[in-house]
A and B are shown apart, each in its own frame.
Chain A
Amino acid sequence: MTTADPAVPMAGQRDRRPARVLARGLGVRHAGRLAWALRDVDLVVEPGERVLVTGASGAGKSTLLTAVAGLLDPDSAELTGELTVDGHPPRDRRSGLGLLAQDPDSQLVMTRAGDDVAFGLENAGVPAEQIWPRVDAALAAVGFRHGRDRPTQALSGGEKQRLVLAGALVRRPGLLLLDEPTAQLDPDGAALVRSAVAQATADRAVTVLVVDHDAGPWLPLVDRVVQVGPDGVVEHGPDWRPVPRTSGLQLPPGGDGPVLLAAHAAGWTYRGAAAPALPPTDVELRAGRAVAVTGRNGTGKSTLALLLAGLRAPTTGRVEAADELTAGARRREPHRWRAAELVTRIGTVFQQPEHQFLTGRLRDELALGPLRSGSGDAAARAMADELLERLGLAAFADVNPFTLSGGQQRRLSVATALATSPRVLVLDEPTFGQDAATWRELVQLLAERRAAGCAVAVVTHDADLVDVLADEELRL
């Protein structure tokens, strides 16, 4: 028994052919929204092609991918025009589909690497004796070296994504859809995933559709690039390169003011853990200066941000505010301040922006901080509207923050941190998921705050951000 049973029509088949995707005048509108998420999309992807779909954040790239995957719920989205995979509605071609999304943790099912890859074959009814050879082949194809018994929770983000990719490819899909698969990874992890995609699809046995607003890194890998915009798609020529987001950026310079907040040999260890999450670290945040905290995942960058933001007490050393920042509060250590004292002194952008949202509308979300810290109603509204406008969120003023895309949520959380005009800003990956336009606006806003005398600490993997904004780099 080495050949697949012909009665099993699904992923067990060996002669799976790469799929052809065709969209004509495709439009998608989500329930409850007036605007079309996508409209007038014409696109043909030939079998075996690798195509990158790029576009501004919120342009409908992910919606397009969800539609091609046949995963749009007809109850919550309205579809117009034509969309087929190999001439059939996408919903009927789901068995020939491989999907790699952003968040690795919500894509893994099993506790061991091999079991997870086998999951898709079990679902297709592939006989047990054929499963393990195929699992091993898929793991080898994506360059996964840890063996089948590796616990999935012990893997890095990049390794997890590689495993999810193996789990998709093992079913021999005709169409592989990648939805910003590197968005939550550090640069090393992102490179790992891209090389795995290149290696595993080199034989052109599968059509590949990648969605990413950050086009540059995918260019060596794809045959062509299409850009999704408000009026349909634009095909880019073979020589197209994205405009570097830093080009022509004119930022107001910082100054060199007094120290506002300083960490003295501050470190943090989880209760019961042997090694510290953050070894003792010194850093000074000065008015008018920006410090970038960089380094690989797991070196304690985010922990340092939590200490500086007054969210955790250091387990060794101390974090102290200077008199100028303390003024009015009884204590010098930010973690001892009451929340209301904290919010007017230190503005924080969190790793998970959606955890910071407290209201049901963007406008209320932005007005909340100023209102609580004693601004008048009119001033708070004006501040909210200005920030919404500048960060390209004005169209969503009455929308629930939880329904925004990841990149939009990140911008909103930066806006809420700026709204109370704190002297110190502690930002954990503020530029995550931003396209070129919103990235520039964000960087501009941060530079303006710095010029106005704010001390800025930014934890980031974003080399461009360090390049244009940081006055000082702390490598952990």
Chain B
Amino acid sequence: MTASLALGPTPDVPLSRVNPVAQLAAIVAVTVVLLTSLDVVTPAVVLAAELCLLPAAGLTSPRALWLRTWPLLFGAVMVGVVNVVLSRDAALVTGLGLALRVVALALPGVLLVAATDPVRLADALTVHWRLSTRFAYGALAALRLAPLLVVELESVRLARRTRGVDAGRNPVAHARLLAGIGFLLLVSAVRRGTRLATAMDARGFDSGIPRTNARGSTLHARDAVFVAGTVAVCALAVTTSVLTGAWDPIFVGG
């Protein structure tokens, strides 16, 4: 009766050919480097490398890029501005460095989400990192239904109106109405989750037999190259930073 709005597979882009666990390993490397350096040069170099990967993740149109990154960009600008305004001895360049760090830290996550099919991610995590299959595929099935909640929120709001319930201009009534709707959504999500769990267990999800994987998840030479490349970029960033005299590691008191 209603159009389905469940989560779909991610379209194939060049970056999809890198195994998700290799992408996660690269994210760990980038995170470690960025969290330990406080200068502006290191995140700038890392960010430049990340921007080069955008086309490989299929993020070529400015609109698609904006839709995926605007909350992140907004957050980064806020971090930069707040630090410059509130900290007495912070220079403009410190604020810029912090903002770049936020973007450079978060962008790999955006790349991962854009290029990685959720099913392939679950496959890779269970095959290579021995993540519990019950957790990985359970979470996957639940995630598939998450977009339905948005549709339901609207549906519940309209349904309340048919019963003579709306908030008008009263903010307290608004809050109470929202709380009621939130509770109903929770109830409905739990009920659907229960039905889903029943359907999954009816297909032997709880059988206790070691699960096989029909798609498999193979690590190739290109995955090692990808991780090595990321480490090289991080090394280059730190080297550049040291050579330009901007290097400011977090562990050294200064």
**A339–B165 contact, CB under 8 A?**
yes
Q: What 1/0 flags go to B186-202 for Cβ under 8 Å of A? A: 01100010011011111
**B162–A311 contact, CB under 8 A?**
yes
Q: What 1/0 flags go to A91-127 for Cβ under 8 Å of B? A: 0001101110101011111111001001111111111
**A168–B203 contact, CB under 8 A?**
yes
Beta-carbon contacts under 8 Å, A2-20 to B: 8, 10-11
Q: What 1/0 flags go to B177-216 for Cβ under 8 Å of A? A: 0001000100110001001101111111101011111111
Which chain B residue has the least Cβ–Cβ distance from A310? B161
Contacts A118-B214, A356-B162 known; A106 to B195 CB distance under 8 Å?
yes
Q: CA–CA, A157 to B164, complex, Å?
A: 32
Is B4 on the interface with A (CB-CB < 8 A)? yes
**B163–A358 contact, CB under 8 A?**
yes
Chain A residues with CB under 8 Å of B7's CB are 111, 153
Beta-carbon contacts under 8 Å, A127-149 to B: 127-128, 131-132, 135, 149
Which chain B residue has the least Cβ–Cβ distance from A119? B203
**A125–B212 contact, CB under 8 A?**
yes
**A350–B199 contact, CB under 8 A?**
no
Number of interface residues of B (CB under 8 A): 55
Chain A residues with CB under 8 Å of B192's CB are 103, 105-106
The tally of CB-CB contacts under 8 A between chains A and B is: 191
**A342–B162 contact, CB under 8 A?**
yes
Q: Which of B119, B188, B209 has the most CB of A within 10 A?
A: B209
Chain B residues with CB under 8 Å of A160's CB are 4
Which chain B residue has the least Cβ–Cβ distance from A157? B1
Q: CA–CA, A122 to B204, complex, Å?
A: 9
Is A372 on the interface with B (CB-CB < 8 A)? yes
**A128–B216 contact, CB under 8 A?**
yes
**B215–A95 contact, CB under 8 A?**
no
Is A171 on the interface with B (CB-CB < 8 A)? yes
Q: What 1/0 flags go to B1-45 for Cβ under 8 Å of A? A: 111111111000000000000000000000000000000000000
Is B247 on the interface with A (CB-CB < 8 A)? no
Q: CA–CA, A69 to B203, complex, Å?
A: 12
Is B148 on the interface with A (CB-CB < 8 A)? yes
**B166–A338 contact, CB under 8 A?**
yes
Q: CA–CA, A124 to B207, complex, Å?
A: 7
Is A269 on the interface with B (CB-CB < 8 A)? no
Chain A residues with CB under 8 Å of B156's CB are 355
Which chain B residue has the least Cβ–Cβ distance from A402? B187
Task: Select one of A120, A152, A356 contacting B6, CB under 8 A.
Answer: A152
Chain A residues with CB under 8 Å of B162's CB are 309, 311, 342-343, 347-348, 350, 356, 417
Beta-carbon contacts under 8 Å, B150-164 to A: 152, 155-156, 158-164
Task: Select one of B148, B201, B209 contacting A105, CB under 8 A.
Answer: B148
Q: CA–CA, A131 to B214, complex, Å?
A: 6
Q: CA–CA, A347 to B202, complex, Å?
A: 40
Is A298 on the interface with B (CB-CB < 8 A)? yes
**B163–A151 contact, CB under 8 A?**
no
Is B144 on the interface with A (CB-CB < 8 A)? yes
Instruction: Write the nearest CB–CB distance from B131 to chain A, whole angstroms.
Output: 15
Task: Select one of A107, A111, A126 contacting B9, CB under 8 A.
Answer: A111
**B213–A128 contact, CB under 8 A?**
yes
Task: Select one of B5, B187, B200 contacting A109, CB under 8 A.
Answer: B200
**B205–A123 contact, CB under 8 A?**
yes
Contacts A107-B196, A127-B212, A340-B164 known; A352 to B187 CB distance under 8 Å?
no
**A311–B158 contact, CB under 8 A?**
yes
Which chain A residue has the least Cβ–Cβ distance from B180? A358
Chain B residues with CB under 8 Å of A115's CB are 119, 214-215
Chain B residues with CB under 8 Å of A110's CB are 119, 140-141, 144
Instruction: Write the nearest CB–CB distance from B7 to chain A, whole angstroms.
Output: 6
Which chain A residue has the least Cβ–Cβ distance from B162? A348
Task: Select one of A128, A342, A417 contacting B214, CB under 8 A.
Answer: A128
Instruction: Write the nearest CB–CB distance from A474 to chain B, whole angstroms.
Output: 18
Q: CA–CA, A101 to B166, complex, Å?
A: 35
Chain A residues with CB under 8 Å of B158's CB are 306, 311-312, 350
Chain A residues with CB under 8 Å of B195's CB are 101, 103, 106-107
Instruction: Write the nearest CB–CB distance from A298 to chain B, whole angstroms.
Output: 7
Contacts A106-B145, A111-B117 known; A128 to B198 CB distance under 8 Å?
no
Is B118 on the interface with A (CB-CB < 8 A)? yes
Contacts A153-B8, A354-B188 known; A124 to B1 CB distance under 8 Å?
no
Q: CA–CA, A241 to B18, complex, Å?
A: 60
Is A71 on the interface with B (CB-CB < 8 A)? yes
Task: Select one of A99, A127, A128 contacting B202, CB under 8 A.
Answer: A99
**B159–A350 contact, CB under 8 A?**
yes
Q: CA–CA, A105 to B155, complex, Å?
A: 17
Q: CA–CA, A175 to B3, complex, Å?
A: 32
Chain B residues with CB under 8 Å of A106's CB are 145, 192, 195-196, 199
Q: CA–CA, A154 to B9, complex, Å?
A: 10
**B1–A358 contact, CB under 8 A?**
no
Contacts A106-B192, A338-B166, A358-B160 known; A120 to B204 CB distance under 8 Å?
yes
Question: Which residues in A have some Cβ–Cβ distance to B below 8 Å?
Answer: 8, 10-11, 69, 71, 94-95, 97-99, 101, 103, 105-112, 115, 118-128, 131-132, 135, 149, 151-155, 157, 160, 164, 167-168, 171, 184, 186, 297-298, 302, 306, 309-312, 338-340, 342-344, 347-348, 350-352, 354-356, 358, 368-369, 372-373, 402, 416-417, 420, 429
User: Which 7 A-B pairs give the minimum distances between C-beta atoms?
Assistant: A343-B164, A339-B166, A355-B159, A120-B203, A123-B204, A99-B202, A118-B214
| Besides the known contacts A111-B117, A115-B119, 9 further A-B residue pairs in the complex with CB atoms under 8 A apart | A98-B202, A106-B195, A109-B141, A112-B119, A122-B214, A123-B209, A153-B4, A339-B163, A340-B164
25 contacts between A and B (CB under 8 A): A8-B209, A101-B199, A108-B6, A111-B9, A119-B200, A122-B211, A122-B214, A123-B204, A124-B209, A125-B209, A125-B210, A151-B8, A153-B5, A302-B2, A311-B162, A339-B164, A339-B165, A339-B166, A343-B164, A344-B164, A356-B159, A356-B163, A358-B160, A416-B163, A420-B164
